Chains A and B, each alone.
Chain A
């Protein structure tokens, strides 16, 4: 069965703090894709990253970085030096051989000035 677990419901930090959002997934497939999306208050889902199951290399994009570890079925997301504009709900998602995304329940991040 496919499942994505985001155990952190809500995280609050002060600006400039680093914050890590956890994501644990379950799948029986050997080929799959993992995603992170950001959902600001306006409601649209903004694509952040896609990773396939054969690429465990960590990725860094500006203040964002992702750590993919197949051994622990985790795909964690770190924001370095957080800013108020990072405040949003962040979703981790899984896609297997089918096309649909299986989303976690999301983590609400609040960054205070």
Chain B
């Protein structure tokens, strides 16, 4: 597609519910990143894929967070047993460069609210 597409745009979850957030990167982009942006803060790195390989998951805040990219294109970020502190905007970015150093293209994000 023309840009990075994320769905849903908004998600309200009850505490304890599992959620799945989807990212469709730009076609052919090798690198895919997930970031978490709390209100009034800068985005914080969660995880990075190069094709289907998850090369860095050091930013995932707990074992309740899980990400996959099984065919090297679409990626899903799953959060189990959501808690209020998980409320944030989740941003996905992709890059044609293997290191992402030439500038990432970000999606519009999924705003998750846990009530």
Contacts and interface: CB of A to CB of B under 8 A. Distances in A.
Interface of A: 4, 33, 35, 37, 42-47, 50, 52, 91, 93, 95, 98-106
Contacts of A104: 42
Given A44-B106, A45-B106, A95 B42 contact: no
B107 interface: yes
Interface in B35-57: 35, 40-45, 48, 55-56
A44 to B, nearest CB: 4
B109 A44 contact: yes
Contacts of B33: 99-101
Contacts of B100: 95, 99, 101
Given A98-B56, A101-B100, 17 more contacts: A33-B101, A37-B106, A44-B106, A44-B108, A45-B43, A50-B101, A50-B103, A99-B31, A100-B56, A101-B33, A101-B35, A101-B43, A102-B45, A104-B42, A105-B41, A105-B42, A106-B42
Nearest to B110: A43
Given A99-B31, A100-B33, A100-B56, A35 B103 contact: yes
B91 interface: yes
A100 B42 contact: no
Main secondary structure of the interface of A (DSSP, over half): strand
B51 to A, nearest CB: 13
B104 interface: yes
B1 to A, nearest CB: 14
Interface residues of B, number: 28
Nearest to B101: A33
Contacts of A4: 42
B69 to A, nearest CB: 14
B64 interface: no
Contacts of B40: 105
Contacts of B61: none
Contacts of B81: none
Nearest to B43: A103
Contacts of B93: 45
